[in-house]
Amino acid sequence: MAQIRHPLFVSITGKIDNMVFYRRNGKVFLRRLPVRKKRKPSESQLSHRRQFTAVIAFYRVLKSTFLLQVWRAAVENTLMNSCCLFVKHNCRAFDDNGKLTDYTCLRFSVGPLARPYCLKCRWLKEENAVRLTWKNNVCVGKQKTDDQLVTVIVYENDEFTVYPPQQTGAVRRDGTVTLLLPPDSSVPCAAYCFFAGVSSGFYSKDCYCRIRTD
């Protein structure tokens, strides 16, 4: 660090090449910018980047669906944003190469409402549909039996279809629903079901179920 006394430099500030002029206590000083060496990232860091990139890409697809409002509701009145919360809950579903490998760790919803109980799923190949059945937990009050069902069907090619309440047309007390799949869709492999409060704006955590295809 060098102090500048020449009158031409009394008011100068800023950077010139690798040198920077700055003022302190009415005096002008000159110093060299630090040289930052670029370090090659470790394999662990590269793995984390691939995993993080994959989760973010998944979230961007999710943003165009009904599910975005579920994650926004989960972070309401908190300091976290919906993307960060989604990444926090879904990183474990992806491996070090950024590939979705653990469907049991995939989360499409979080919230305080009770989840579906004893969820079972079966693929009806001839009808190109999935039949879902569940039971109501004995702890659920009568006022919650009108909670609306939301379902996400994931296929073997990792694509998914979101069925918001108006599409499932089912509520908690129904205990069963049959959902038609899109034409030419791949074989369904997993279902994620959760409930949406009619007026509370709350949701339940989703419940994962492997779809029987036999």
The mean predicted confidence, pLDDT, of the chain is 87
Residue 4 has pLDDT above 60, yes or no: no
Sign of the C-alpha dihedral computed for residues 174, 176, 182 and 188 taken in this order: positive
Q: CA neighbours within 13 Å on the CB side: how many for 50? A: 14
Q: Look up the CATH number of domain 111-214.
A: 2.60.40.10
Contacts of 73-81 with C-beta under 8 Å, sequence gap 24+, read 73/111, 73/201, 73/202, 73/203, 74/110, 74/111, 74/203
pLDDT at 214: 83
Query: Cα(209)–Cα(103) distance, rounded to whole angstroms?
Result: 9
pLDDT at 1: 47
Angle, helices 43-62/82-90, rounded to nearest 10 degrees: 120
Angle at 111 between CA 181 and CA 133, to 5 degrees: 40
pLDDT per residue over 179-191, tens digit each?
Answer: 999 998 999 999 9
Alpha-carbon Rg for the chain in angstroms: 27
As annotated, the residues of the chain forming the CATH 2.60.40.10 domain(s) are 111-214
Sorted by sequence, the CB contacts under 8 Å of residue 153 that are 6+ apart come out as 130, 160, 161, 163, 179, 181, 188, 190, 191, 211
What single letter denotes the amino acid at residue 96?
A: D
CA proximity to 67, closest of 140, 213, 167 = 167
Q: What is the mean pLDDT of residues 160-171?
A: 95
pLDDT per residue over 88-138, tens digit each?
Answer: 999 999 998 989 899 999 999 999 999 998 999 999 999 999 999 999 876
SS3 59: helix
pLDDT per residue over 44-87, tens digit each?
Answer: 888 889 999 999 999 999 999 999 999 999 999 888 999 999 99
Q: How far is CA 173 from CA 75, 135, 204, in A?
A: 28, 8, 15
pLDDT at 53: 94
pTM for the complete prediction? 0.78
